[in-house]
Homo-oligomer: A and B are copies of this chain.
Amino acid sequence: MTQVIVLNGGSSSGKSGIIRCLQAVLPDPWLALGTDTLVEAMPMSMQTADGGVEFAADGAVIVGPGFRTLEAAWIEGIAAMARAGARVVVDEVFLGGADSQQRWRTALSGLRVLWVGVRCDGAVAAGREVARGDRTIGMAVSQAEVVHQGVTYDLEVDTTRAESMECARTIAARVE
């Protein structure tokens, strides 16, 4: 039985929409948690200051050591939830590519994980970033490729032309 689904993709690639659809089509209840949940749980000061995460005006995301410490504990906690019986979909942005995946892989060891890459053409994601109106402009383009570097997946979906629901059904078909 699949215990964890990890979706990795750049900002505005459509992960959150796919996850809400996944939660709707999968017969069991799945918890959806991710980078956004973690950042919102941090002190306001860490969202701009040294040691936290910073969203620069050009869309770059800078993450400091204080962030990494809390994130490591957060990942352990997600793994513990899955071991305690919750099925969890993780909404991630692997800014460090293969290194980011390795951190998750280690924490999730022993669990049955489905690794999913969410691709979206950078120019299309940039347009959606403008359309949603709640993200720093530039993040979509700057993350579109780097988050996938060296990362390996069980399956990949591409939202450039496929709807969230369609991607969700493709993923759901691989959940055991």
**Cα distance A137–B165 in the bound complex, in angstroms:** 14
- Copies of this chain in its oligomeric complex: 4
B86 engages A20 (CB within 8 Å)? no
CB neighbours of A23 from chain B (8 A): 42-45
Query: For residue A24, which residue of chain B has the nearest CB?
Result: B130
Interface residues as binary, A139-156 with B (CB distance below 8 Å gives 1, 0 otherwise): 000000000000000000
| Least Cβ–Cβ distance between A10 and chain B, in angstroms | 16
**Any chain B CB within 8 A of the CB of A33?**
yes
**Interface residues, chain A, CB within 8 Å of chain B?**
14, 16-18, 20-21, 23-24, 29-33, 37-38, 41-46, 51-52, 66, 69-70, 72-74, 76-86, 124, 127-128, 130-133, 137, 163-166
